[in-house]
Structure 1
Amino acid sequence: MQTFIFVAVALSVACLVESRNYGLAGGLGRTKNATPQTQRLVNSVRDEIIGQLPLGYDREQPLQLTAVSYRDQVVAGVNYFIKVETGFNRYIHVRIYKDLRGDASVTSVQLEKTLYDPIEYF
């Protein structure tokens, strides 16, 4: 019986350690630096992102959309939560859903973010 309890506790601790390294299924993964694939994803939905920005958002500058970092969430497809620089140290967070067929769409955009704001579920 003591051996069973020891094994159960050891497995529980191992699972806890693994979940901290990789995140829970359905939970947000750790923050990672943007990759060329992340930038391609942002580029593929550029018009949708711009469509969710308030009128005049890019009035003072040419609008760039540069992926900086991201977190992902595996669901029936993947949700990408991406920090995007829009130019002159202005940042937004963009949530993009990519379905199992590979089709991507913008789910939500958060404005007035900084480089140091953590990427959280929204």
Structure 2
Amino acid sequence: MKRVKRDDHREERIDMEILVDAYTEEERAMGWYYYLADTVKFPFKAQCIQEHHKSPLEEHEMVEVLDLSPENTCLREIYVDVQGNGQQLSVPLAQLKAISVDEDTQEALDDWHYWVGRGYGF
């Protein structure tokens, strides 16, 4: 994945709204988890934009994103539960692009893609 260009406005918003007072990996993970849980409107349609070694989804595959996976599975990466090809899976959110979602959901998903694209971790 190509490294995303730094966006100072987004960096400040993430620091002040999502990761404020988050000093450990677990605190940062939970900051992201609860931000996404509170902001993203589920379910929504999405397309796989890249293959991932922890997911069976193929590029361009369409799925319905049902919800965030349980928080204990999101301590290293944010996962979502999806329905696709007749099965329910838990896959990394970073490999999905939302289709026709509201503005708040899109911004939250863009925030996560930015975070991952910058190479940041928890």
Normalising by the residue count of structure 2, what TM-score does the alignment of the two structures yield?
A: 0.32
Query: Normalized per residue, which structure has more strand?
Result: 1
Query: Normalized per residue, which structure has more helix?
Result: 2
Normalising by the residue count of structure 1, what TM-score does the alignment of the two structures yield?
A: 0.32
